């Protein structure tokens, strides 16, 4: 008998399912250089950003000894191996506000974000499975059937609940 892997949810179909696509404008070879590489952590810096307003990417990977720690999964359903990987991707940037009517006006605003994935070490957990999870994770940032900024706008203001709940 062949083993398979499945997510344990069934989404109710919606009237007009939203499709999210994004561009990937990062050109590593042309614009980015290694700032530091410590084996399990890598920092990149964008050469096109001013040195006093850096854009940086951080990648990290560490081994997880027990992917079941802090979960409610019954021990009788544990896989033979409890190991896994913690994967980090982080982006930090600086935005600048200027005023076309006042050449001396400038305000810098920091912005940053990161994604941390805890991935079990199991042959059935392929990059395709992790990508499906990542797409679902990104989907949590949007309203049902919408890929606009409405939910982000609400969350920035402290309204966390999706509008249709």
Give me the DSSP letters along 105-159: EEEEEEEEEEEEEEEE--TT--HHHHHHHHHHHHHTTS-TT--SSHHHHHHHTT-
Per-residue pLDDT of the chain (165 residues; tens, 9 = 90+): 788 888 888 888 887 877 777 777 899 999 999 999 999 999 999 999 999 999 999 999 999 999 999 999 999 999 999 999 999 999 999 999 999 999 999 999 999 999 999 999 999 999 999 999 998 999 899 898 888 889 999 999 999 999 989
In sequence order, the 6+-apart residues with CB closer than 8 A to the CB of 118 are 64, 67, 84, 85, 86
The pTM score is 0.86
Q: Residue 69's closest CA among 83, 90, 57?
A: 83
Terminal-to-terminal C-alpha distance of the chain:
41
| CB contact burial 104-133 (16+ within 10 A = b; e otherwise) | eeeeeeeeeeeeeeebeebeebeeeeeeee
Residue with tokens 């989907």: 139
State residue 34's pLDDT score: 98
What whole-number distance in Å separates Cα of residue 67 and Cα of residue 80?
A: 12
Q: How far, in Å, CA of 163 to CA of 147, rounded?
A: 14
């Amino acid at each position: 008998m062949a083993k398979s892997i499945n997510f344990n949810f069934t989404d109710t179909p919606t009237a007009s399912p939203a499709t999210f696509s994004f561009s990937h404008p990062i050109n590593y070879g042309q614009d980015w250089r290694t700032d530091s590489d410590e084996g399990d952590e890598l920092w990149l810096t964008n050469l096109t950003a001013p040195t006093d307003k850096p854009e940086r990417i951080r990648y990290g990977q560490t081994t997880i000894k027990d992917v079941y720690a802090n979960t409610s999964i019954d021990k009788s359903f544990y896989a033979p191996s409890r190991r896994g990987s913690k994967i980090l991707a982080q982006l930090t940037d600086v935005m600048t506000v200027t005023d076309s009517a006042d050449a001396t006006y400038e305000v810098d605003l920091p912005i940053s974000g990161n994604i941390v994935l805890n991935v079990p070490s199991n042959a059935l957990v392929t990059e395709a499975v992790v990508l499906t999870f990542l797409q679902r994770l990104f989907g949590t940032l949007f309203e049902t059937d919408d890929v606009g900024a409405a939910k982000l706008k609400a969350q920035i203001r402290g309204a966390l609940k999706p509008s249709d709940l």
